[in-house]
Structure 1
Amino acid sequence: MDLTFTPLDPAAHAELLHGWLATERSRFWGMTEHSPAQVFAYLDRIAASEHEQGWIGARDGAPLVYVETYDPAHLLPDGLLAPEPGDLGMHLLIAPPSGTPEHGLTAAVMGKVVSWCLHERGAARVVVEPDERNTAVLAKNAAAGFRVLEHVLLPEGAGAKRAALSVCTRADFDASPLGPGTRPTAHLRPDTGERAHRHLVAKALAELSHERVLAPEPDGEGGFALGVPGTEVRYHFSARVLPLEHWLIDPVSITRTVGGARTPLDVQVLVAELQDVLAIPDGLLSTYLEELASTFAARCATLDEGRRGERPSAEDLLCADLPQIEAAMTEGHPGFLANNGRIGFSLPDYRDYAPEQGRSTRLEWVAMRREQSHLALGEGLTEEDHAVWSLSPEERHALEGRLAGRGLDPSDYHLMPMHPWQAEHRLPITFAPDIARGDLVPLGAGGDEMQPQQSLRTFLNRTRPGAPYVKVALAIQNMGFLRGLSPHYMRDTPAINDWLAALVAEDPELSAQGFRVLRERAAIGYTGDAYHRTRTTNPHRKMLAALWRESPAAQLAPGERAFTMAALLHRDHEGRSFAAAMLRASGLPPEQWLAGYLRASLRPLVHLLLAHDVVVMPHGENLILRVREQQVVGAFYKDIGEEMAVVGHRPLPDGMERVRAVVPGEEKALSIFTDVFDGVLRHLAGILDADGILPADRFWRQVAGVLDEYEADHPDLARGLAGDVELRTGSFAHSCLNRLQLRNTLQMVDLGDQSSSLLHAGRMANPVARVGVSTGRPPSGC
């Protein structure tokens, strides 16, 4: 059915609609006794309203349907519906039959109107509130995919009825009988699945060979073979091995054969058949396979979006801002195979909250009784300052008003944001006793639209540019951890951030390289639950906490933009590299561009270690690069409270001893070797080599050159404060990330003693070793 919609014209349409509304079938509109003048007045109010619109839908030029759309946040009573971005309310009135009733007309009109609301009016969710006695409309709503949230009593101004408050998302409608028949799992097709499996198998072979778990054997010129012990299964592929034992595998070349017969690639099959080689415990294999399935599903989704032209190319990102680039990224951690586990998310959750979906949401808020919670503030920040910084005036007024409306004094409570998933799945169940006794008071959604970042539980504020990032607890299993936040750790977080920020700001070397810190200025946590009374710690203690971090937006100079360092490792859905596109667009020789990036990112991290005995975890998400004219000119470091350590004996302020982890010099150097060289630069070198931009040997010579520059500028610091750090050594301990996850998919390391939790596979030749220094590399093995 084709319908065309035109805006309501009360003068032109009042007589027509009066005839429609006067019929018995329109009784639920409550206007059967209205006079023409009353109908005109009603329509005139709709046309003049800022938050309501009227529409006439015509088929072949003949009016067939009247539709009202409205903003539920303004027209539904407060507290009735938790608003979401893109909500659109809808009322529907179909013309009475003029002759023989047309079979299926109502269903066809309903489907067309809902599709129009979602796809032409731009709604993310359609909201309806039909009278619960209107069983015919309720049936049509259900057929269109509407889900009844609850039965509510609407007051006189909203229609004075008991209504079935219902919502319908695009996914709901697409999967409904009246929808286009699109399956929610339409992205899981054989062709897309084959591409995703091939990508993940290539990554598995590359990273597990890099970690020396697998040992492929040369098999002809440029070819390798890997056999599954005790079977006739063999994998064949073409590859080059670059410095740091980085396996550059051609995915197209990979084949799997059984007894010589070619079979499909499947990353779960690969892992399951190599379980003994990978040393995955029997009790944890299924969990790891589920994380792989989730990673596979996410890959299929982004490949399908790319096929439909819905994902940006690498070139599209050259002028994109940080939120756009965050939403464009799809790979997750470059080293981990199962990097998008997200166990606990449903498919709708994935679409709502996965960073690569780029959707905005609103955080939920909960009030916590002060005696059962704590709010830690950075130096010079008062509670009032924090309230102004973290909440818009409208949000603060609304949240405090909701408390006061329940007879509670807002001054007796702290306000904490929560991930919507956490608020739905954990707050009302896991903490039901705390809500019942009034120590926790759910307050509903805030007003600011927030976009999840690649770190999944961190949100950027899209409504108020420059407002703080918010990091919240999220009790889902992802990449070897339950993604909680510890209230215990949160107590000291602002003070630790202030200390490191002061150290960075006062250091001329760091200032010269444009290196800054994004401070976590405030942190909050709840400890009044039963889980904090157990004898030992447990994951439930990390479900109610949050922190607020400075945004880089307010610190960018004119002409600058920012994105995480992880973006330099991004390839788009066609395999094109963002780093290569950026380097070409800069117009600089590759070595010059690379040197600028290394001075802004590597050199400050080396200086923190050698001059201050401070190590950080600078994986791709924790460094935000400042870029001007496609050149990296500086960097922000973030995520300090949980991922910074002092590895020497320098004095620390009271309350900061928990960050001290004194280790020998060789282990200090691993903060550069493992986290920077192996975790980031190895992958960037592989990308630039594979794309024909810069051979890997020249890449690593440039890295060595930047270290030489630093040593020339600071000869007294070349070996660190204690003289025990050597970054130009011949080899270093080969720390393995996937081995950690394979050993324990539920908790890779003990966060209280990360050093002793690590797994090493012998030693790795240092690509920046001084000429003439022996690599000292023994045979492979743990």
Structure 2
Amino acid sequence: MTTTTETRSVVPTVEPVPFAVRVRLGDARADVTVEPLDAVRDAALVQRWLAHPRSAFWQMGDLDVDAVRTYLADVAADPRQHAWLGRVDDEPAFLVETYDPARVTLADAPAAVELLEAGDVGMHLLVGPPTDDGAPRRGFTSAVMSAVVRFCLADRAAGGRGARRVVVEPDVRNTAIAAKNAAAGFRVLREVELAGKRAHLAVATRADLDASPLGDGLDPAPHLRPALADRAHRHLVAKTIAELTHERLLAPRTVVGPATADGPGRYVLPVAGGAVEYRFTARRFALEHWVLDEASIRRVVLGGSRTPGAGPAAAAADREVRVDALDLVVELQPDLRVPDELLATYLEEVSSTLASATAKLERDERAGGPSATDLLDASFQQVEAAMTEGHPGFVANNGRIGFGLAEYRAYAPENGGRVRLVWLAARRAHTHLALGAGLDEATHHGRELTADERAAFADRLADRGLDPADYLYLPVHPWQWEHRVSITFAPDVARDDLVPVGLGADEYQPQQSIRTLFNLTRPERHYVKVALAVQNMGFLRGLSPAYMRATPAINDWVADLVASDPELGATGFSILRELASVGYTGDVYHRTATPSPHRKMLAALWRESPVPRTAPGERLATMASLLHRDAHGAAFATALVRASGLDPADWVRSYLRAYLRPLAHALLAHDLAFMPHGENLILVLRDHVVVRTIMKDVGEEVVVLGERGLPPEIERVRAVVDDTEKALAIFTDVFDGVLRHLAAILAGDGVLAEDRFWALVADCLDDHRADHPDLATGVDLRAQRFAHSCLNRLQLRNTLQMVDLADQSASLLYAGTLANPVARGHRP
């Protein structure tokens, strides 16, 4: 006996569409149909089935035909339930009853009703016993059960009952039906007392059925397939070889070439002590930038002797094997010098990066896009979610260690999901709220929380006997609540120092920086940046309450400087201020002798939205999009240039004026350096042309590289270095971090020759110098060479914490110098 219901629904007045399905029956297939039962026609058949000993749990074996007919007629007259006759290969084989469980079988069981949901449909199943002259058919009941659950879940347009969940409540003693229910994916929620029996209340969704032995099968990870994995491995191997060669950790040997920006060469990279070779073609660009042809990569295990005169037999022993990014890391470990105790962590970050890459490929294969040209007219957040590469320089750039598969789907930026924040009331005595100029607590909470939210949160505190005035409100990521706050900070919650007061009303979209969230419900409102204790790209992505205490003051100072500078105003450059920060420090981890990442798990900040700053005809896009190629290899930057109708040189000139010029001016005029990588800049475009840029992530990233006066409360941003190191703020973060990639994209796509691109960069710097002849600085951005700062070397040295945020300059690793592509005398 099984049950299915139509949760709080009304029977349609139109004639139902017949339901038909083909299911597995033993080693063959059977056609199963379900039709409305006719009480007059079918009473004798159903009475015979009910009288059989196998139907004892129906408790109707003593009814005669007239009584059964009356019973079936009563069911047909009740809009809350229906009776159906099922046929297998045209032969009557089973009875199904569907009903509203809340109003029929469970109406008198409030403990069961509270577990029901909208869209629940109850179901009872009676499988007809074999005829006297027929033997039981192997798999027959399973075939019927599979068909009936499909019938209940199928849309009404297909003849089904349109259930979101099928509900059954069999007698706990009926072990046979319990086993069959389990085989169909039913999950027992609770034992309940019903009239005449103690029952298992169980439910099944479409996903439950598909994943069950009686379903069609459900692939829980459709992205993890050989073909997609091969593409992901090739892409990551190509990037690994390119970036580690750029950082001079590897030295491929020329076979045919050498390559130039105008054409590829053929290369061999020996690894594993010379036992393995990677063979590939590649193009080389300025700043020792490599672009490998992913399809050309061959991994060859060498066999036999490599001594002169060894003969063809040795070469014949070579064998080509699968290209695998993890194997490459292991093969390279002696050269990369990854500490043994950290190798597994780095490999896990690489594995996670591969998994996310395959998920992006599967999404594109399944959903078909968006393409580079689709993004030309996409919204700000559609562009944000379309980014697939992550950081252009780091190999393991999508680690996110701590996310499970469901959490990846919910919270990874590339999935463009919608997230609601969990709000905590944090006891004021242990919590700080730092506010920017002109902002007070009431105004801040009034902007970020609706009146309904504030009232609800205060009521929930009062219901617990707590005074809302004793608390500040702290948003946390739902992952952080589930995995950290409710467990790692359980004592703080238990003593009401942290009180969960509910989900916020607004929905947010995760940004490429993963812990930063954009308000989708009210786009004009602030971003929220929250602590997220997942390991990603060399750091646990927390937020330090102590470090952020000065964040609003830092942002105020930088914003005032930017707003008061005529040059920066002329380029349209601006920053998104981080206006408020909140952090909780009442936990035991803040009382330990040694600081730990646990001190960075309960904090948040609010950053201005760029949406109110756009004028009619302007669009927003993350600057990371300029380095994006879609699944077919088409570059968004190329699409923008071509769609603009401008000469490519004019397009690049406009971009450099909006991006490079204000950054260079801030450094040369104010010793002020930002962290201007792709995700920290927002482009403002008009007619597909970059007309200005907006900088974000100021509080954690900005630095003053000199002795100029600073307010005492922001002194932490100062790092006094010499002029040569000051120049690295442009050389490393702009030239090497962004422009070398963009130059290669435009040159590789035949849009703009590389020499021409760098000549435009030089022109931009020269134009700025000509416009500011009195600017006194020893920083030379046209120097012949500059120190080669290496990012992957940092992560390989310590994948748990790449740099000391309190002294980032001292943490950097260098590999000699690079030739400056805009050095004087380097012009074409």
Shorter chain as denominator, the TM-score bin is 0.7 to 0.9
Please, which of 750, 757, 761 is the counterpart of residue 703 of structure 1? Answer: 761
Q: C-alpha separation between the residues in 2 aligned to 1:511 and 1:55? A: 72
Q: C-alpha separation between the residues in 1 aligned to 2:466 and 2:201? A: 30
The Cα offsets for residues 162-202 of structure 1, whole Å up to 9 and x where unpaired, read as 997989695x6653445531321222111111111111110
Please, which of 196, 213, 237 is the counterpart of residue 201 of structure 1? Answer: 237
Does structure 1 residue 516 correspond to structure 2 residue 574? yes
Matching residue of 2:268:
225
Instruction: Check conservation: 2:534, 2:540, Cα contact below 8 A.
Output: yes
Distance 1:545 1:236, change over 3 A: same
For 1:113-132, list aligned pairs within 5 A: 113-114=152-153
Instruction: Check conservation: 1:130, 1:138, Cα contact below 8 A.
Output: no
Matching residue of 1:748:
802
Does structure 1 residue 337 correspond to structure 2 residue 376? no
Q: Higher Cα Rg: structure 1 or 2?
A: 2
Aligned-partner SS, 1:753: helix
Q: C-alpha separation between the residues in 1 aligned to 2:781 and 2:628? A: 28
User: AA paired with 1:213?
Assistant: L
User: AA paired with 2:545?
Assistant: P
For 1:370-769, list aligned pairs within 5 A: 370-717=428-775, 723-769=777-823
Instruction: Check conservation: 1:108, 1:178, Cα contact below 8 A.
Output: no
Matching residue of 1:92:
121
User: AA paired with 1:739?
Assistant: R
Distance 1:111 1:397, change over 3 A: farther
User: AA paired with 2:121?
Assistant: L
| CA apart distance, 1:491 | 1.1
| CA apart distance, 1:395 | 2.7
Instruction: Check conservation: 2:530, 2:604, Cα contact below 8 A.
Output: yes
Does structure 1 residue 210 correspond to structure 2 residue 264? no
Q: Using structure 2 for the length normalisation, give the TM-score.
A: 0.80
Instruction: Check conservation: 1:211, 1:761, Cα contact below 8 A.
Output: yes
Structure 1, unpaired ranges of 5+? 28-32, 44-53, 71-79, 155-160, 774-782
Aligned-partner SS, 2:473: strand
The Cα offsets for residues 384-429 of structure 1, whole Å up to 9 and x where unpaired, read as 2111221233333332232222222222111111111111111111
User: AA paired with 2:296?
Assistant: S
Matching residue of 1:103:
141
User: AA paired with 2:267?
Assistant: F
User: AA paired with 1:108?
Assistant: A
The Cα offsets for residues 206-260 of structure 1, whole Å up to 9 and x where unpaired, read as 0000000001111123111111252321111111210111012111111111123
| CA apart distance, 1:580 | 0.8
Matching residue of 1:47:
none
Aligned-partner SS, 1:213: coil
Instruction: Check conservation: 1:485, 1:545, Cα contact below 8 A.
Output: yes
Aligned-partner SS, 1:230: helix
| CA apart distance, 1:446 | 2.0
| CA apart distance, 1:437 | 1.2
Q: C-alpha separation between the residues in 2 aligned to 1:591 and 1:146? A: 63
Does structure 1 residue 244 correspond to structure 2 residue 273? no
Instruction: Check conservation: 1:129, 1:163, Cα contact below 8 A.
Output: no
| CA apart distance, 1:12 | 3.8
Distance 1:163 1:638, change over 3 A: farther
> Which stretch has the larger CA shift, 578-587 or 406-415?
406-415
Aligned-partner SS, 1:274: helix
Instruction: Check conservation: 1:14, 1:40, Cα contact below 8 A.
Output: no
Q: C-alpha separation between the residues in 1 aligned to 2:473 and 2:203? A: 29
Instruction: Check conservation: 1:89, 1:128, Cα contact below 8 A.
Output: no
Instruction: Check conservation: 2:622, 2:681, Cα contact below 8 A.
Output: yes
Instruction: Check conservation: 1:11, 1:40, Cα contact below 8 A.
Output: no
Distance 1:273 1:26, change over 3 A: farther
Please, which of 176, 180, 186 is the counterpart of residue 216 of structure 2? Answer: 180
Q: C-alpha separation between the residues in 2 aligned to 1:362 and 1:139? A: 39
Distance 1:200 1:56, change over 3 A: farther
Matching residue of 1:46:
none
Distance 1:730 1:261, change over 3 A: same
Distance 1:207 1:508, change over 3 A: same
Matching residue of 1:771:
825
Q: C-alpha separation between the residues in 2 aligned to 1:69 and 1:365? A: 35
User: AA paired with 1:214?
Assistant: L
Q: C-alpha separation between the residues in 1 aligned to 2:73 and 2:235? A: 66
Instruction: Check conservation: 1:131, 1:163, Cα contact below 8 A.
Output: yes
> Which stretch has the larger CA shift, 238-247 or 134-143?
134-143
For 1:297-308, list aligned pairs within 5 A: 297-308=355-366
Q: C-alpha separation between the residues in 2 aligned to 1:571 and 1:385? A: 43
Q: C-alpha separation between the residues in 2 aligned to 1:751 and 1:55? A: 67
The Cα offsets for residues 739-763 of structure 1, whole Å up to 9 and x where unpaired, read as 1011111110001100000000000
Q: C-alpha separation between the residues in 2 aligned to 1:486 and 1:294? A: 26
Aligned-partner SS, 1:621: helix
> Which stretch has the larger CA shift, 229-238 or 263-272?
229-238
Matching residue of 2:24:
none
Q: C-alpha separation between the residues in 2 aligned to 1:184 and 1:323? A: 27
Q: C-alpha separation between the residues in 2 aligned to 1:450 and 1:25? A: 50
| CA apart distance, 1:574 | 1.2
Matching residue of 1:780:
none
User: AA paired with 1:89?
Assistant: A
User: AA paired with 1:300?
Assistant: T
Q: C-alpha separation between the residues in 2 aligned to 1:55 and 1:392? A: 46
For 1:12-51, list aligned pairs within 5 A: 12=13
Q: Using structure 1 for the length normalisation, give the TM-score.
A: 0.84
Q: C-alpha separation between the residues in 2 aligned to 1:614 and 1:144? A: 64
Instruction: Check conservation: 1:8, 1:56, Cα contact below 8 A.
Output: no
Instruction: Check conservation: 2:476, 2:604, Cα contact below 8 A.
Output: yes
Q: C-alpha separation between the residues in 1 aligned to 2:553 and 2:71? A: 67
Q: C-alpha separation between the residues in 1 aligned to 2:716 and 2:483? A: 32
User: AA paired with 2:711?
Assistant: P
Matching residue of 2:353:
295
For 1:160-175, list aligned pairs within 5 A: 174-175=210-211
Q: C-alpha separation between the residues in 2 aligned to 1:391 and 1:683? A: 41
Aligned sequence identity (%) = 55
User: AA paired with 1:473?
Assistant: A
Q: Give the RMSD, CA atoms, in angstroms.
A: 4.0
| CA apart distance, 1:461 | 1.4
Instruction: Check conservation: 2:72, 2:83, Cα contact below 8 A.
Output: no
